[in-house]
Amino acid sequence: MPYNAEMSARKLVTMHGIRKMHSAKEKIAMLTCYDAMFARVLDDAGVDILLVGDSLGTVLQGHPTTLPVSVTDMAYHTACVARGNRTAWLIADMPFGAYQESDELAVHNAILLMQAGAHMIKLEGGGWTPPIVKRLVERGIPVCAHLGFTPQSVHALGGYRVQGRDETSATQLRNDAAELVAAGAEMLVLEMVPAALARDITEALTIPVIGIGAGVGCSGQVLVLHDMLGLTFGKPARFVRDFLDGAKCVAVLESVVASKKSKSWTKVASIR
C-alpha cells in the first residue's frame, strides 16, 4: 500500500511541468535522495524533484567533503533512486572530476548517469562551465547549473562561506547565471547566497532557481534529506530546518535496543 494513494497516482513530473509551475509562481519542492525506499516515500509525499546529490559523500559515506565521491558511486545511487521513484523529476550530481578535465569526459559521465535513470544532471561552477553545458544540451542531456557556494570547490573558496556578499562577487554571480542560461541550462541551484541577491537573480532569469540557504525569493527550495530529518554528524548549517528532530529518532532506537535486551522483546517476538 503506498504511503499516499493520491500522490502515487499523480502524473509524471516533467521539465515542461516544472516550467509551468515556475510560470505560475508555484513553489518547487526538491529534496536529496539516495535510495529506493526514500525515493518511494518522497515521491508519494509529493516532492517535485529528487536530487541524487554528491552530498552522499558526507551523509552516507562519512567523508568530510564531497570530493571523494566517484561517478560509480553516483550511478549506483541514481539507479537505486530511479527504481523507487515513480513520478518525480530526478536530477543526478556530476561529482568532482567527472567534468573538469574535458568536454568529452563530461559527456561520457553524463551519459552514464542518464543511463542509470537520471532525467537531468547537475554541475557546479560558472565562468568555465557554459561550454560544457552547451555541449551536453546539444546532445540531449538536460542540465541544472549550481552557483554560489559550490561544495566541490570548498578548499578554493576557503571553507563554507556565503558567496556574493560584495558588489564585485554579486555581479560575477549575476553574469555567471546569465551565461549558463544562454548556454542552455534549464534550472539553477543557488547555495548560500544573500537573500536579496538570490531574489534578484531569480527575477532576472527565465528558468527556475532553487535555493538552499538563499532566502525565500527563489522559485523553490532544496534541502539535504538527512539534515531535514535532524540526522547529522555535527552542527547543521543555520539555514537547515529540522522537521523531525533526529534526537527523537535516537531515543526510539535506544528504546528498541532496551526492549531487545529485556524479556518484553522475547514475549513479543516469540513464535509459538
List residues with catalytic annotation.
191
Dmax (CA) for the chain in angstroms is: 74
Cell of 33: 535522495
Q: Please tell me the distance from the alpha carbon of residue 239 to that of residue 232, in angstroms, as a whole number.
A: 14
Which residue, 227, 187, 231, is CA-closest to 206? 187
Asked if 185 contacts 134 with a C-beta cutoff of 8 angstroms, the reply is no
DSSP 8-state secondary structure symbol assigned to residue 236: P
Report CA dihedral (49, 50, 52, 58) to the nearest 10 degrees: 110
Are 198 and 239 in contact by the 8 Å Cβ rule? The answer is no
What b/e string do you get for 83-118 counting C-beta neighbours within 10 Å, with b at 16 or more?
A: ebbbbbbbbbbbbbebbbeeeeebbebbebbbebbb
Q: Which run of H or of E encompasses 187?
A: strand 187-191
